[in-house]
Amino acid sequence: MDDLRWFASNRYTFLLVPELRRRGLSISLEGDAPARLTLSMSGKKAVEAWRYARARGCPLVLYIWDLHPEATSSGSYDPVWWAGGRFFRLPRPIGGFPSRRGFYSRLRYIAAHAREVWVPSQMTQAVVRRRFGIDSRLRPASTARDDPPTLLTVSRLQPYKNQAATIRAAARLGPGVQVRLIGRGPERDSLERLAASLAVRCRIETDADDATVGDAYHRARVAVCPSRFEGFGLTPVEAVASGTPTVASDIPPHREFVGRTAHLFPPDDVDALVEAIRAAFNGAVPDPGLVRDLSIPVAVERFLGVLDPLIR
CATH topology of domain 144-293: Rossmann fold (3.40.50)
pLDDT at 168: 97
pTM above 0.85, yes or no: no
pLDDT at 141: 47
- Mean pLDDT value across the chain: 88
Q: Where are the domains positioned within the chain?
A: 2-142, 144-293
pLDDT at 269: 95
pLDDT at 71: 78
The answer to whether 247 and 224 are in contact (CB under 8 A) is: yes
The answer to whether 155 and 235 are in contact (CB under 8 A) is: yes
Q: Tell me the three state secondary structure of residue 61.
A: strand
Query: What DSSP designation does 23 have?
Result: T
Mean pLDDT of 75-100: 90
Q: Write out the DSSP string of 187-253.
A: THHHHHHHHHHTT--EEEESS--HHHHHHHHHH-SEEEE--S--SS-HHHHHHHHTT--EEEE--HH
How far CA 39 is from CA of 49, 83, 191, 311, in Å, comes to 7, 22, 41, 39
Which pLDDT band holds residue 143 (cuts at 50, 70, 90)?
very low
Q: Assess whether pLDDT exceeds 90 at residue 156.
A: yes
Q: pLDDT by residue (tens digit) across 289-309?
A: 788 777 766 776 776 676 667
| Residue 162 neighbours by CB under 8 Å, 6+ apart | 226, 227, 228, 249, 267, 268
More confident residue, 283 or 188: 188
| Residue 230 neighbours by CB under 8 Å, 6+ apart | 251, 253, 254
More confident residue, 133 or 70: 133
Q: Write out the DSSP string of 127-196.
A: HHHHHH----EE-GGGG---SS-EEEEES---GGG-HHHHHHHHHHH-TT-EEEEE--STTHHHHHHHHH
Lowest mean pLDDT among 43-47, 52-56, 120-124, 172-176: 120-124
Mean pLDDT of 33-59: 93
Tally the residues of the chain.
312
Q: pLDDT by residue (tens digit) across 160-183?
A: 999 999 999 999 999 899 999 999
pLDDT at 37: 92
Buried b / exposed e along 283-309 (16+ C-beta atoms within 10 A): eebbbbbbbbebbeeeeeeeeeeeeee
Which pLDDT band holds residue 100 (cuts at 50, 70, 90)?
confident
CA distance 28 to 263: 38
CA distance 57 to 1: 13
Q: Check the CA dihedral 299-300-305-308 and report its sign.
A: positive
Q: CB atoms < 10 A from the CB of 148, how many?
A: 12
Mean pLDDT of 225-252: 92
Mean pLDDT of 210-230: 90
pLDDT at 147: 80
Lowest mean pLDDT among 181-185, 189-193, 221-225, 280-284: 280-284
pLDDT at 306: 65
